[in-house]
């Protein structure tokens, strides 16, 4: 009888210790005086895997590093934005980003989105706060750099007409991207070899999470469906040579290089509308230039931030 009691006591102690240890909170990083814990990283993992399910294919250490870097970026951006915005306001600004996620996830409405988040152990309010940082950052960059955007409407119009007139068929492409710059510590060739190796080992989407400096990186580099008339001539020439699931060679763009993956394609059957195509192309070009300004500004403020990782 005494032996049975002793065994039961040991089982209880072991179980309690296991529960306590599984909930130990550890500091994994500090951004100035703001801490990032293992719990924060676990929650960020869930969010990033929700956006890019292929991330689960990576080993845990790699996912943890991506998640930690994502949180560091978010904290730096949020602290900068607090100088200019009241985070208790600006609720509607999130709606467009939320709609984009709904579209990418083939969800019909907000209720379906909330239910999907619950299934992934994610809190809708927390996700809304993350989207608010992203949306306000985009607004901040737009307000501060829109006057620096250089768009040649006539040149873009000519590009669209030239492409349209020289085609028997027009296609829409579902694309993903990895945008990268030359690393100060490695040559462009070495950086590209690292990226190619990762694409072969862990896939394009996971490599985008690690290497891409574009806003699409969290979504595994997904751009989505793009009419070929919206693409620059050099990118369109590369894309039309690709088979589905094939990746382009590196293409030089302003501020760096881009790798394009062709996910799918279909014939464009809607009636051609020059004004509409021009509007879309201007929007694409504006976003591309704003993304460059965003990267430059973020790197500038990051230099003055004390970051410690453990």
Residue bearing tokens 């620059």: 232
Last residue of a domain, one of 117, 146, 175: 146
Last residue of a domain, one of 95, 120, 146: 146
Whether residue 164 is found in the same domain as residue 296: yes
| Angle between the N-to-C axes of helices 274-302 and 153-165, in degrees from 0 to 180, rounded to the nearest 10 | 130
The pTM score is 0.77
Query: What is the sign, positive or negative, of the torsion defined by CA atoms of 250, 222, 146, 154?
Result: positive
For 125-155, the pLDDT digits (tens) are 999 999 999 999 999 999 999 999 999 999 8
133 in a domain, yes or no? Answer: yes
- Compute φ and ψ for 37, nearest 5 degrees: -105, 170
37 in a domain, yes or no? Answer: yes
Owning domain of residue 247? 153-302
Residue 91: pLDDT band with limits 50, 70, 90? low
Whether residue 12 is found in the same domain as residue 108: yes
**CA–CA distance, 261 with 239 (Å, rounded to integer):** 8
Whether residue 19 is found in the same domain as residue 126: yes
Q: Give the chain's domain count.
A: 2
For 273-296, the pLDDT digits (tens) are 888 889 988 998 898 899 989 999
Check residue 18 and give its pLDDT: 40
Parallel/antiparallel/unpaired status of strands 27-31 and 222-227 = unpaired
């Amino acid at each position: 009888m005494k032996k049975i009691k002793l065994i039961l006591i040991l089982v209880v102690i072991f179980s309690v210790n296991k529960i306590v240890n599984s909930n130990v909170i550890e500091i994994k990083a500090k951004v100035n005086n703001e801490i990032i814990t293992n719990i924060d990283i676990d929650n960020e993992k869930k969010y990033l895997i929700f956006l890019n399910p292929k991330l689960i294919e990576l080993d845990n250490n790699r996912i943890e590093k991506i998640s930690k870097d994502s949180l560091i970026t978010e904290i730096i951006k949020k602290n900068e934005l607090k100088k200019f915005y009241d985070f208790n306001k600006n609720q509607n600004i999130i709606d467009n980003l939320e709609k984009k996620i709904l579209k990418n996830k083939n969800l019909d409405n907000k209720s379906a989105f909330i239910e999907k988040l619950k299934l992934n152990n994610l809190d809708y309010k927390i996700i809304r706060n993350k989207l608010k940082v992203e949306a306000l950052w985009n607004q901040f960059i737009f307000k501060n750099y829109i006057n620096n955007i250089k768009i040649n409407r006539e040149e873009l119009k000519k590009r669209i007409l030239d492409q349209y007139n020289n085609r028997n068929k027009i296609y829409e492409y579902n694309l993903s991207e990895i945008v990268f710059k030359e690393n100060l510590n490695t040559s462009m060739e070495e950086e590209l070899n690292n990226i190619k190796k990762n694409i072969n080992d862990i896939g394009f989407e996971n490599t985008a999470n690690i290497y891409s400096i574009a806003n699409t990186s969290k979504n595994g580099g997904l751009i989505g469906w793009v009419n070929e008339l919206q693409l620059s001539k050099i990118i369109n020439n590369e894309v039309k040579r690709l088979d589905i699931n094939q990746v382009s060679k590196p293409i030089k763009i302003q501020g760096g290089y881009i790798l394009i993956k062709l996910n799918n394609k279909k014939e464009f059957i809607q009636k051609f509308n020059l004004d509409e195509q021009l509007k879309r192309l201007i929007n694409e070009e504006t976003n591309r230039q704003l993304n460059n300004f965003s990267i430059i500004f973020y790197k500038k403020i990051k230099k003055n931030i004390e970051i410690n990782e453990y």
